[in-house]
Structure 1
Amino acid sequence: MRSGLLFAVTTPFGTDTTTETRQGKVLVDAAAAARLGHIALTSAAHADRGTAVPHYESKHLVEQYLHTAGVPWTVIAPAAFMDNYTSGWTLDGLRDNTFAWPMPADRPLTLIPAADIGAYAALALQRRDEFAGRHIDIASDECTPGQIAETRAAVTHRPITYQEVPLTHVRTRSADLAAMFEYFTTVGLDVDIAGLRRDYPEVGWHNFADWAAGQEWPTLPAPISANQ
């Protein structure tokens, strides 16, 4: 009788997409060899739709390999991470009272925090028979970059201005991320948020405003005026 569970996460960042795919397949092979009872693999929303986004395609290759492993599986595919708005260039922008993002201010994007991904994965592993053999896109809210800027202004008590970053600029840093943001803008990540909230209320889905209010935002000095 099979026993044991695996919750697997793969990433190309810090390596590359080829390495991500190889590592993902190694995880699947190890789980099959150990005769585990279930694998919950995290992917990305729409990764199974031919997005041409490199790190979505690498995740889909791992998912396809998982289908052949002979181990019961569930693929959990989150939308964009809310947690990205507390680090990196978006956090740096707070120093200048700006929120810079490579999308039009009014283009909706589905979002989810890491806490909700974990809660949903735990549910899937607790109810393995119900979730077996399913690829499920998950998100807990949908916001435009303009709304994100307004929420960040409210929770940090700073007058945040939204600035759209040109995709050409992103492309000079990462062709992979540029492809992702282009997909977000032209196609978008449609996820049945209402259905998820209705069917799985125990996850405790967070909307962006509530999630942002619960973060520990750094206290930053006011930007220096040009007149000073």
Structure 2
Amino acid sequence: MLTIAVTGATGAQGGATARALLAAGHRVRALTRDPAAPAAAALGRLGADVRRADFDDRPSLDAALAGADSLFAVTTPFGTDTATEVRQGRNLLDAAADARLGHVVLTSAAHADRRTGIPHYDSKAEIERHLATTGIPWTVVAPAAFMDNFTTGWTLEGLRENTFAWPMPGDRPLTLIPAEDIGAFAALALVCRAEFTGRRIDIASDELTAVGIAEVLAGVTGLPVGHHEVPLAQVRTHSHDLAAMFGYFGTTGLDVDVSALRRAHPEVGWHTFAGWAAAQDWPGLLAAPAHAS
């Protein structure tokens, strides 16, 4: 039984990883800035050891990591900026190195190592490079686009008008993954350390075109949903970072070998987009008040 510290434990990726590890019988330290948050309390009820940790508070990181075997590390620029993400990522990894952890699994982004020019991919690449200098045995798990994002923001707003509003051409494929599969794969990498150490792995569960996504959403919602390509100029007024990302998706694309991943690691239980979408509470989601993504 391993003791694994999980950052971002109240978020999508960290929460999914923590739950997968707990289900496999491992000790989980759920690290969060707010141990009183409902998501933290829910993990505590599942058996996690919930501890306060702040990326900008090095003593809190040192205390949270002391005596742990491994770390699941996740960083984000959203809510802050990419410079803050890099600084916080370095702080976390330096604390992990000083704690002499046996393994760090860092979640990044598919293609972040390919000089995409997408700001929040480039910040993740910088954190990856720092990880390689720490001397800690490492694995980088790099997910494709999140299926979970289709239950928020633009997608819900569009579905309320029978439209899948998405800033990509209808015939361009996009590789996708739900947080649950990211957590399952990260947990596998943490538990099977010898198999995954020193590897950087782009991961995805399914691949569909924007038109194909719209067809699935039409089927699960019962709405006459059609794809509408949102102009990148419109996205740019909201976020230059996201506009760069969608521009990359619509041209170069995220080529992840989904079939090879399914063959190599069937224990992850990879979801198809149709299977994932069918499990969502669309009536509840669509009835909720609209809000910006």
Give the TM-score band, short-chain normalised.
over 0.9
Q: Distance between the aligned counterparts of 1:83 and 1:48, measured in 2?
A: 23
Matches within 5 A, 1:15-164: 15-164=80-229
CA distance in 2, matches of 1:197, 1:218: 31
Between 1 and 2, higher relative CO (CA 8 Å, sep ≥ 6) is seen in: 1
Task: Map 1:197-212; keep pairs closer than 5 Å.
Answer: 197-212=262-277
Give, in angstroms, the shift of residue 186 of structure 1.
0.9
Quote the Cα distance in structure 2 between the aligned partners of 1:218 and 1:61.
41
CA distance in 2, matches of 1:158, 1:183: 29
Match of 1:13 in 2: 78
Distance 2:111 2:198 in 1: 17
Equivalent-residue separation in structure 1 for 2:68 and 2:215 (angstroms): 48
Distance 1:102 1:12 in 2: 21
C-alpha distance in 1 between matches for 2:203 and 2:141: 7
Q: Secondary structure at the match of 2:200?
A: strand
SS of the residue 1:63 aligns to: helix
Q: Which runs of 4+ in 1 moved over 4 A?
A: none
Summarize deviations over 1:123-179 as a string: whole Å, max 9, x none.
Answer: 000110110011100001000111111100100111112110000111111100000
Aligned AA (1:114)? A
Scaled by the length of structure 1, what TM-score is found? 0.94
1:176-209 superposed Cα distances (whole Å, 9 cap, x missing partner): 0000001011100001111100000000000100
Q: Distance in 2 between matches of 1:117 and 1:3?
A: 21
CA deviation string 1:18-56 (max 9, x = no partner): 000111111100101111111000000000011010000
Shift of 1:10: 0.6
Q: Distance in 2 between matches of 1:162 and 1:195?
A: 29
Q: Whole-Å Cα distance in 1 between the matches of residues 255 and 119 of structure 2?
A: 19
Q: What code does the residue aligned with 1:36 have?
A: L
Which of 183, 190, 195 is the equivalent residue of 2:260?
195
SS of the aligned residue for 2:114 comes to coil
1:176 to 232, 241, 263: 241
**2:227 & 2:118 partners in 1: Cα distance?**
25
Aligned length: 220
Aligned residue number for residue 278 of structure 2? 213
Cα drift, residue 217 of structure 1: 1.0
Measured on the aligned residues, the alpha-carbon RMSD in Å equals 1.1
Task: Give the superposition deviation at 1:218.
Answer: 2.5
TM-score (normalizing by structure 2): 0.74
Q: Secondary structure at the match of 2:207?
A: strand
1:167 and 2:167 correspond: no
- Letter of the aligned partner of 1:81 in structure 2? F
Structure 1 segments unaligned to the other structure (5+ residues): 222-228
